[in-house]
Structure formats: C-alpha cells, structure tokens
Structure 1
C-alpha cells in the first residue's frame, strides 16, 4: 500500500484524500458511481492500484483508480517532450556606426542573415559619437537600408529609435509560411 504521495499541491493519493464521498472512476475509465472514499480505496487495493483524487474541486470530488507510479512517469515524459519542442530565441546584437564602409556593411548584413536563419532575433545598434547624434536622420536611413537588405528573411519588430547615444532596431525572423511564398 502506497501512502502520502502527492503529485502536486492539488492531487491527493490513497489515505491523503480528505473527502468523505467521491465519484469513483475505475481503472478502465468506467464510472463506478458516488461512494465513500474508504469503499473506493478498498476497490483500488483489491486491484493492486491507487486511488487518486483527480478533480478535488468538483462536487463531489472525482477520484480515479490507477497505477500512480505509471501516471507519474507518463506525466514526466510528457513534460520532457514539451521541453524538447520549446525553442529558446536569442537576441544577437550587431553594432554599426554611421560612417560604416560598404564592405563592412555587407559583412554585418550577412551576419544578420545567418542569425535570422538560425531563428534568432537581431538587434541592430547604431552607435553615435560626438556630434553625429545631430544627424539622426542619416542613422535612420542606414537602419532602413539594413532592413531592406533583409526584408525577405526578417520582419521589423521594433522601428529604429534613438535611445541615448544609440539608435536601436530589432528584427525578427519571418515565419516560414511567408518565406516560402516569396
């Protein structure tokens, strides 16, 4: 007999169940009806299984006869699969200057293409020095030219905007359906 195991804060198992009566569901999914929890526990013990409170807030609470260890294993397996499918999106930063030469500009564009194809976002930071900040429109034009080079691969998530002595623009990878349509 297994005792004092809790799947999470809400689910209770075997003697942990506090309700007097519960709707009991058999191991095959068949409803056995509303009965005292002690009776449900007795049925579960006869089958060598556990009584698990799956819906504690229902009136009356719902308890299911199942193999608790197997249930817990399947839950952890589902969580592991969900974690595998998650994709962490990183933000890669590219720093440029208003007086950037054409070759250097193209190198930065190729780097951005590589980052976007890997599924990462690109933060383009245009750094102004001294009085260059007074020509913010030149910086804006440079950012827009950068975006135009990447239009097929990226969407502009954040428009170029001056923040302190920098102008920042964020590009995100274009969803796959839109890329194939081009």
Structure 2
C-alpha cells in the first residue's frame, strides 16, 4: 500500500532535505536495505521510494554526487532523537553547592532543596564547606553538620565521597540512587563536567 511521502519538518541546522526538496541533477541512491541502486535523477529515486511507501532522504549532501537513501523518514527522525537523548543522559554533571560552617538552618534547608532538585534531574552533587581562621579548630563539629545534611538525602542519593578535609574545605559528594549501577559504564564513556551552582554565607 502506497503512502504519501512525508513533508519535512524544520529541525534547525541539522535538517535533512527529503523528497521534493532534493533538486539536483543526479544523486547516488542507497536502497532501504543498504543496497546500492546507482546514480539517477531525484525523480527516478522518488518514484522508487513512493512505490515502497518510503521517503527519499539526502544523507550525504557534500558527496559527489550527493548520496540519498530510501527510508522511513519519521522512523529515522525518531531514532536520531533517541541518540541525542542518550548522549545527553550519558553526560554526567556535578553540581557544587557551597556553604559556611555557620550557615543558619534556613539556608541549610535551601541548599538541601537545591541538592534534591539536582539529584532528581540525575546530576551528582558536591558539597563544599569553606573554613576560616578559628573555624578550623572545630573540624569534627563541621563534619558532623555536613554529614547530617547528607543523611537527609539518603532516600534519593548514595554517598560516593564521605565528608573529608581538603585544605581549608570539607567536601562530600553524592549521586542519585538510580545512577549507582550506571556510574562505572558512564565514567568510561564520558568525563563528568562540573558546575558550581550556588553559595551561602
């Protein structure tokens, strides 16, 4: 059963020319199964595509002659969209939330809410507590305070770095619970990017 060739939908700079948009004298045509159909005019190739109930899509416009493939353009766009989504989800972001040892309860709650929001989006969260002067004499107290914050997120996060001292800072890192099983595979495919989100004093 024949179907009408799809009308192209604008997709920005990456848009493919399809069907009647292809207006060049000759093209190299690849069939739906990957078979080489040879060089012909776009009109001839479109007739073959229509007969198969498919579309003619220009996949290599800079080739000489340009290469077009007979395919289901709707399915092709869907698969391309899935690839983009997969690439985005594989990219791990680390959001940094800063605070001070004497940050008050209200601000600590605000930081916790931001951390929860990042975790729900699949991002890792790194807490950084900066110490000044005499504050360094009470490190165990500040570690306990940071631990308490981390524990409020136990329902959604897993600790990947417990609070530790780094120079004049105490840091801790957590990740979403559902990313624990993926961390080993994603780390090998893409390096994490770090984003500093907020600070509190």
Say yes or no: TM over 0.5: yes
Whole-angstrom distance in 2 between the partners of 1:7 and 1:41: 22
**56-65 or 2-11: which moved more?**
2-11
Kindly tell me: are residues 47 and 13 of structure 1, through their superposed partners in 2, closer, same or farther at Cα, counting changes over 3 Å? same
- Counterpart of 1:127 in structure 2 is none
Whole-angstrom distance in 1 between the partners of 2:70 and 2:10: 15
CA drift at 1:14: 0.2
- Counterpart of 2:95 in structure 1 is 90
Kindly tell me: are residues 106 and 72 of structure 1, through their superposed partners in 2, closer, same or farther at Cα, counting changes over 3 Å? same
- Secondary structure of 1:100's aligned partner: helix
Q: Is the 8 A contact 1:21 1:37 kept in 2?
A: yes
- Counterpart of 2:60 in structure 1 is 55
Alignment of 1:100-139 (within 5 A): 100=135, 102-103=137-138, 105-109=139-143, 111=146, 117-118=159-160
CA drift at 1:74: 1.1
- Secondary structure of 1:60's aligned partner: coil
TM-score (normalizing by structure 2) = 0.53
- Counterpart of 2:7 in structure 1 is 3
Kindly tell me: are residues 143 and 85 of structure 1, through their superposed partners in 2, closer, same or farther at Cα, counting changes over 3 Å? closer
State the number of aligned residues: 129
Whole-angstrom distance in 1 between the partners of 2:33 and 2:9: 22
CA RMSD of aligned residues (A): 3.4
Kindly tell me: are residues 55 and 6 of structure 1, through their superposed partners in 2, closer, same or farther at Cα, counting changes over 3 Å? farther
Kindly tell me: are residues 5 and 14 of structure 1, through their superposed partners in 2, closer, same or farther at Cα, counting changes over 3 Å? farther
Whole-angstrom distance in 2 between the partners of 1:143 and 1:75: 43
TM-score (normalizing by structure 1) = 0.58
Structure 1: which 5+ runs fail to align? 123-141, 155-175, 178-182
CA drift at 1:116: 10
Question: Could you tell me which of 53, 66, 71 is aligned with 1:66?
Answer: 71
Structure 2: which 5+ runs fail to align? 99-128, 151-156, 174-186, 189-201
- Secondary structure of 2:38's aligned partner: strand
Whole-angstrom distance in 2 between the partners of 1:85 and 1:63: 31
- Counterpart of 1:169 in structure 2 is none
